[in-house]
Amino acid sequence: MGRDGAGLLDVAFCPGEGGRVLASNRRGRVFLWDERCGGGRPRAELHAPPDRSPVHCVRAAADGQTVIAGTGAGAVHVWDLRGGTGGTAAGRCRLTLSHPRWKRPDQSA
């Protein structure tokens, strides 16, 4: 993970086809590990440009194929892993939801 691994904020297990773990960091990234791949390195890095704010929470849906993450900027990002867990298909955000009221009180609009 290099420098992007510094400051993990949340960790969650993916339900379904066991052995997958998600972790989010302070630099707006979500990492996916899959024990079937081995090597100890993340299988995919999920991101939602241009949002680089901290990802405070990350969860996987019950099907294990949808990842949802909430950022400090008040955005909720959604990824569909069915495009594959490696390469660019899994790394692209499929949907971003936001609302000005979702920002923390100490952030300006």
Contact 89, 79 (CB under 8 A): no
Mean pLDDT of the chain: 78
Summarised one tens digit per residue, pLDDT across range 4-58 is: 446 899 999 988 766 889 999 988 889 998 888 777 788 888 887 777 789 999 9
Summarised one tens digit per residue, pLDDT across range 26-36 is: 888 899 988 88
Tell me the C-alpha to C-alpha distance, in Å, between residue 69 and each of 4, 24, 45, 54: 17, 8, 13, 10
CATH topology of domain 2-101: Lipocalin (2.40.128)
**Structural domain spans, the chain:** 2-101
pTM summary value: 0.74
**Cis bond leading into 49, ω under 30°?**
no
Q: How far apart are CA 26 and CA 10, in angstroms?
A: 10
